[in-house]
Amino acid sequence: MKYIIFLFLVCGTLSLSGQVTSRLTIQSGSNINFNFQLLDHYNNGVSYNNWTHLTVFFEDLGNPLREWKLSVEATTPVIQGDAGNSLPLNTIEFSITGDDAAATYFNDVSHAVLSPVPTNLVEDGQQTTVPGVLTNLFISYHCGKSVYVANNSLIGKTPDYYYAEILYTLEPE
């Protein structure tokens, strides 16, 4: 039995006023391959810690107190397999950490499961106050054995090459 789950990341930004400047950049880790080849992978899952490095720049000249949020969502309702099989989206779990400046933004939203609706990973993000200084965020991915959700194992699921696209969105709160 062999599973390969491939994730493709897309970044988006949304501006609600003409004075907001925001950038969400994937510095590294835009593709993730969960390759289950060993019995240990099935028993213990596969994790990629701090795999995706995102940087955030957010500034609203009209409202210096405006905060930002970062959400994540899947672009499809399931993780689709090449042979027509599917896995539930919550097979993929996330955890997020950041540099010292970002650590205060998480408000207990430090982990999530993949969903077809936006899930906030960061809330109440502060604006960039020093030119050239960005907020660094690091996303870890877990698949095959739940870190946060019960009954999330791949044991007994149909082997296939599975694919999911993930959309990260940065927007004002």
Per residue in 69-112, pLDDT (tens digit) is: 888 899 999 988 888 888 888 888 888 887 755 555 554 456 78
Domains and CATH numbers, the chain: 3-172 (2.60.40)
Q: What is the pLDDT of residue 108?
A: 46
| DSSP type of residue 159 | P
Q: Around 110, how many Cα atoms within 13 Å sit in the side-chain half-sphere? A: 11
* Separation between Cα atoms, residue 138 and residue 106, nearest integer Å: 12
Is residue 15 over pLDDT 50?
no
Question: What pTM did the predictor assign?
Answer: 0.79
Mapped onto helix, strand or coil, the DSSP state of residue 133 is coil
CB atoms within 10 A of CB 141: 22
Angle at 137 between CA 33 and CA 19, to 5 degrees: 120
- Which of the residue ranges 17-21, 50-54, 69-73, 147-151 has the most confident prediction, judged by mean pLDDT? 50-54
Strands 79-81 and 86-87: antiparallel
CA distances from 169 to 5, 14, 31 (A): 22, 7, 17
Burial of residue 69, with CB atoms counted within 10 A of its CB: 0-12 exposed, 13-18 middle, 19 or more buried: buried
